[in-house]
Structure formats: C-alpha cells, structure tokens
Amino acid sequence: MIQDLIEPPMKINLTDPGLYSRGDPYAVWRWLREHDPVHWHPPGLLPGFWVLTKYDDVRAVYRDPATFSSAGGILLRPEIHGADPGGGRTLALTDPPYHRQLRALVDDWFAPRAIRLIEAEMRQVAHDVVVRALERESCDFVTEIAARIPLYVICKMMGMPREDWERLFTLTNDAFGATDATTRRLAHFDILQYFEGLVTERAKSPADDLVSVLVTAEIDGRKLSLDELILNCDNLLVGGTENTRIAASGGMLAFLQFPDQWQTLSVEPTLLPAAVEEVLRWTSTATHIMRTATRPVTLHGRRIEAGERVTLWNPSANRDESVFDDPDRFMVRRKPNRHLSLGAGEHVCLGGTLGRAELRLLYDELLRSTARIELEGTPVMLSSIVVNGLEHLPLKLIPGHRTA
C-alpha cells in the first residue's frame, strides 16, 4: 500500500544547485528518508526522476544492474542535451557483461598489490605538495593540496609526460571547479583533445601505462575505437582525481569542525585507515548517481516503470539513522562503517584502493609536518547537484612535527 504522504516542511527541489552551496540538503534528505523514501521528483529543467534516500534501497539498486541500468547515463542531464556520449562505451556507463570486460583491462593497475608498489612514490608526491604549501603558509587546500596529489598520481599511471602535468592541473581545475559553464566546457574539450593526441601517440609507440593498455587491448577480437579510447581515458582521469580531491578537502574541513578527532589521530596514527573510511562516508563525494529501470519494479509501494530514471543519493544513504549510529557526527573510530561512497556491486569504484591510499598518505603527511592547521577565511561549497563538496577551503598551515 502506498504510504500516506506528509507535507514536507520545506520545498523539495534537489535540482537547485543553491541547495548544496547555501542550503541544508541533509535536512531535506532526512525528511525524505523518514516520510517519502521513494520520492517522485517532477520534471523541470531536468526530466522527472525517482529519488532514493535510504541506505538499503540505494545499496539494492547498485547491486542489481539487470534491473537498473547504467548504459543510459549515470547523471541527470537536460533532455535537450541528448543521450550521454559515453553511454554503452565507458567503464561508468556500461552494464554487464561488457562492463566486466572493460574493467578487466585495467583492474590489475588498481589492485592492492599494484598500489603498494607505487606507495613510496605517492608518499613523495604528498610530501612535496604539503611542503610547498607550508612554504607559502596560506593556501587554498582544495586546489593547492587536495587537487594536486591525485592528479599527479593518475597522470603518472596514464603515462602523461611530467611537463604536461601542470597543464592538466589547470584544465581539470577549470573543467571541474570553474563557476562559469563556458570555461568548464572549453576545458573539458581541451582535455578530450589532449587524450586524442596521447592515444594516437601510444598507438604508434605503446609504453608501460594505462593508456597503452587500452590502446592495445581487444574485447571479443575487437580493438576499442578512437572515441571509446578517448572517453575511457577521460573517465579514468575524472575518477582518478575528482573523488579524492573532494574527499580530501571535505575531510580536512571535518577535522577542523571536530578538532578532537584530529587530536585523536595525532596521538593514534594507526587509526588512519579507519579515519579515511569516515572521511569517505562523511564527504560522500557523488551527490547523486542515476540508473534507468529496465522493467517495472515496486519499492515501498511506489511503482517505477521501465525507462524511468532512478537517482541514488549517497550522502543521504550514508547518514541513514537505521544503519549508522549518531550519523551526523564525524568519528574516526566508527566501526562498522559500511558506507556507500564508492558504490557497490558491479560498479564499485575501480580506484577505491588508490583513493584510500592517497587520503591516508596526505593526512599522515599533514600530521607529520604541521603543528597546527587553521581556517583563514570562509569555506565555499560547490554549487552543483553532481558532486558534494568544497570549491575553496582557505587554510593557514603552521609547520611543526607530530609529538606522538
């Protein structure tokens, strides 16, 4: 039976970017979890879609790609923009069995053993980035620390020449962080053009890197097309940078808001892996992920028809009171911590092990190198319905050494 809906105390418009930059989306999600866990969001600038906010429902959809497909796109987009160009062709926008075949091409590069082999290099990257920020004393943590570490690491894994890293740093900052839509679009176009050149070069002279793996690979006796190669390279760059950038900066803000948790880490650095999991839960970098129903299905008395869009709100699922004790408190000792920040099932994040290592090494370096970290201005949230995090985090870093 369909539940009796209670009138919400606030207007529910999850497509308003201002809700995330200036409002309180957690209050909206909290109400939806309690009163309308399968909510129909009427069309506006974006087409209509279903909203899932409870942990068990979000997890179930992630784990059922046969019923909830990724091939039609994983983010809400205006219908006038047409279908997502990566649909059915990239790691993020394919369903089994093709998704498994694509993922198998690069899985070994992101396995725990492979990440352990490059940990010393990642630690050096984290050290160098933090040292440069300490020399300046004041920094925007988002762009000057959190963005650089994952970018440099994935650039090296993809075989991008070191002399190109700063160019890619500027382009990715513009593509993912610029407030102007035209700037974002042009930067993304430049990234795709860069990959076209790199793919062409690796086709002539393969090397020991991720791009060469994709260029030389075959699936069912067929090589990937140029478009597929470029789109999958872009997919790897975005996945390898954006989530860690937002999680690292959002986690740093959480440590400033809950200073007892940073002090706990400074005394017990062995808690770093658990702290990273709490950072991932707390930041929940993907605001929404979309699936398309392939058949009619009923959830909590609401009938979802085939072809309808179903959105999964990770930040809400990761604050679900029925799963997490005291969910609105940031706790580095939280256990268990079965968050959904990296997805679940077939599409669980390919770079999960890499991202966790980058976060752990960054916070360890900050603990080792700083005596104090202070806010030096007002944090600015991104105005976005896609990613959940900070645009700017002005900090003052005071050099020092961990005492424990």
Residue 288 falls within a domain, yes or no?
yes
* Helix/strand/coil (H/E/C) assignment for every residue in the chain: CCCCCCCCCCCCCCCCHHHHHCCCHHHHHHHHHHHCCEEEECCCCCCCEEEECCHHHHHHHHCCCCCEECCCCCCCCCHHHCCCCCCCCCCCCCCCCHHHHHHHHHHHHHCHHHHHHCHHHHHHHHHHHHHHHHHHCEEEHHHHHHCHHHHHHHHHHCCCCHHHHHHHHHHHHHHHHCCCHHHHHHHHHHHHHHHHHHHHHHHHCCCCCHHHHHHHCEECCEECCHHHHHHHHHHHHHHHHHHHHHHHHHHHHHHHHCHHHHHHHHHCHHHHHHHHHHHHHHHCCECCEEEEECCCEEECCEEECCCCEEEECHHHHCCCCCCCCCCCCCCCCCCCCCCCCCCCHHHCCCCHHHHHHHHHHHHHHHHHHEEEEEECCCCEECCCCCECCEEECEEEEEECCCCC
Residue 254 lies in a domain: yes
**Average pLDDT value for residue range 122-135:** 96
Please check whether residue 10 lies inside any domain of the structure: no
CA 388 – CA 372 distance, rounded (Å): 26
pLDDT, tens digit, 9 for 90 and up, residues 371-383 = 999 999 999 999 9
Distance between CA 278 and CA 271 in Å, rounded? 11
pLDDT band, residue 2 (cuts 50/70/90)? very low
The whole-number average pLDDT for the span 116-136 is 96
The pLDDT, as a whole number, for residue 1 is: 39
What is the pLDDT at residue 5? 64
Q: Is residue 223 part of a domain?
A: yes
Position 2 in a domain: no
How much is the average pLDDT of 157-181?
A: 87
pLDDT tens profile 208-220: 999 999 999 999 9
The strands making up 370-375's β-sheet, listed across from edge to edge, are 138-140, 394-399, 370-375
Confidence check: pLDDT of 404 > 80: no
Domain span at 266 = 17-399
Question: What is the pLDDT averaged over residues 154-177?
Answer: 91
What's the chain's average pLDDT? 94
In the chain, how many domains are there?
1
The C-alpha R_g of the chain, in whole angstroms, comes to 21
pLDDT, greater one: 79 or 93:
93
As a whole-number percent, the residues of the chain with pLDDT over 90 amount to 89
Single out the residue of 62, 40, 30 nearest to residue 301, CA to CA: 40
Residues with Cβ within 8 Å of 328's Cβ and at least 6 positions away in sequence, in order, are 26, 319
For the entire predicted model, the pTM comes to: 0.95
Q: Each residue of 292-307: pLDDT tens digit?
A: 999 999 999 999 999 9
Task: Please report whether residue 259 resides in a domain.
Answer: yes
The pLDDT assigned to 402 comes to: 57
Whether pLDDT at 55 is above 50:
yes
Distance CA 383, CA 236 (A): 24
Q: Starting from the edge strand earliest in sequence, which strands make up the sheet with 289-293, in order?
A: 38-41, 49-52, 309-312, 289-293, 68-69
Q: Is residue 7 part of a domain?
A: no
- CATH number of the domain to which 344 belongs: 1.10.630.10
- What integer pLDDT is reported at residue 11 of this predicted model? 87
Tell me whether residue 224 is in a domain.
Answer: yes
